[in-house]
Amino acid sequence: MKTADAAMLWTPAGWQADSGFDIDDRGGISALRSAEPSESGGWIVPGIANLHSHAFQRAMAGMAERQTNPSDSFWTWRETMYHFAARFDPDSLHAVASQLYAEMLEAGYTSVCEFHYLHHAPDGHAYADPAAMSRALVAAARDTGIRVTLLPVLYMTGGFDGRALGARQQRFGHDVDAYLRLLDLLRAEAGDRLRVGCALHSLRAVPADAMRTVLEALPTDSRIHIHIAEQVGEVQDCLALRNARPVEWLLDNVEVDRRWTLVHATHLTAEETRRVAGSGATVAICTTTEGNLGDGLFPLRDYLDANGAWGVGSDSHISVSPVEELRWLEYGQRLVTRHRNIAVRPDCSSVGETLLRGVVASAAQASGQPVGMLAPGACADYLVLDTDAPHFAGVQASDAIDRWIFSGNRNLVRDVFVGGEQVVKNGMHRDREAIAGRYRNAMKVLLQA
């Protein structure tokens, strides 16, 4: 049996000195226990769940930063994304996803919810293996050691008006029957580090009747993710054609509960904020992508006051850092309110502690995997902070998490374990160079296409 010993072990109740846990042969925590005092022991925190990822977009990070017109927005960025998406095949997707997942692990993400819609060949025809692109992602997760919740996406229409998918969207599309067959195929292969859930791309891409049919066919414990209310234009279109705002329509027409994760949910009324929190659903906030695309700011303070569940995702991977997602989640609120230290709770005056509590509390619910808390029955997915770094000089339990999140730009994660298996040592993924070499070769091909 493996063990993990910590000089300090973080729990939502606070740091525990000289603590540790036993790890069973399936990579789960079997028991918490005391450990021998050690000045050299690590400061251990839970691994972070990345609740929203489009792996292929890692390859285009930084390539959409030139103005195409004075009204550049998400919708013009999407044109660049479509152009890039058309270049991928299973081999290039595996190489790019492997690079991304290794970067995630080095940064402190130990699990990822992969919102996957590159299903078919670039011309829209199905591969001989309809799960070929999904399997490329599963293989990348397996090869790098990250835990994955694969979320194959249902994408059927090009807008709220039900128009057919455009030429560049053809490789995303399924009818309901084909989509359900894909889910069945992938669920049969799920295992300890792989779960398969359902992703509905958005209200504009999934007609109401199709949504209901899919929801009725899902296993009762299936996780369900959906993009919603990300842009003002989406809200306006939904109002015009459905006479309701997107989140309002979803809550009025579907039984939204703890199985659901609403991705972005940026543009909410006060009533929608209260209702989402009350539903038990998780909101996946993707701060760096939302900032990069000019989407807007999530109403975090009101949502915290309503006791809503939330987590973070790196989405388009313009940044692959949970620290940056959390930092800018707080900073956005400061810029709007012109005050400091916004994300706090009545029982916790530390912004960093409040943010960390939020992401670990929602991880299992959103991913469908026993992750987040370091407790018996949970996965032994954990990080060892680099407390030898100057940023931690004189560190105390009262300020350790705030220093990790708000102190400089050096990665302060030293070692990373998934299921008790070490995948990052001294800040470097175990296969960093080989993965980077395959990524470079894939990028040469992608950029020549």
Catalytic residue annotation:
264, 315
**Is 382:13 a contact under the CB 8 Å cutoff?**
no
**How do strand 413-418 and strand 421-425 relate by DSSP bridges?**
antiparallel
Helix, strand, coil percentages, rounded to 5, for the chain: 40, 20, 40
Q: Which residues pair with 422 in a beta bridge?
A: 417
**Contacts for 47 with CB less than 8 Å, ≥ 6 apart:** 108, 109, 110, 111, 371, 381, 382, 383, 416, 417, 418
Q: What distance in Å separates the CA atoms of residue 417 and residue 19, rounded to the nearest whole number?
A: 17
Structure-token match 């998918």, residue found:
165
Torsion of CA 402, 29, 310, 133, to 10 degrees: 120
Half-sphere exposure of 308 (CA within 13 A, CB side): 31
How big is the chain by its Cα radius of gyration, in Å?
Answer: 21
Q: Where are the beta strands (DSSP E) in 249-394?
A: 260-264, 282-285, 309-312, 382-385
How does DSSP classify residue 134? H
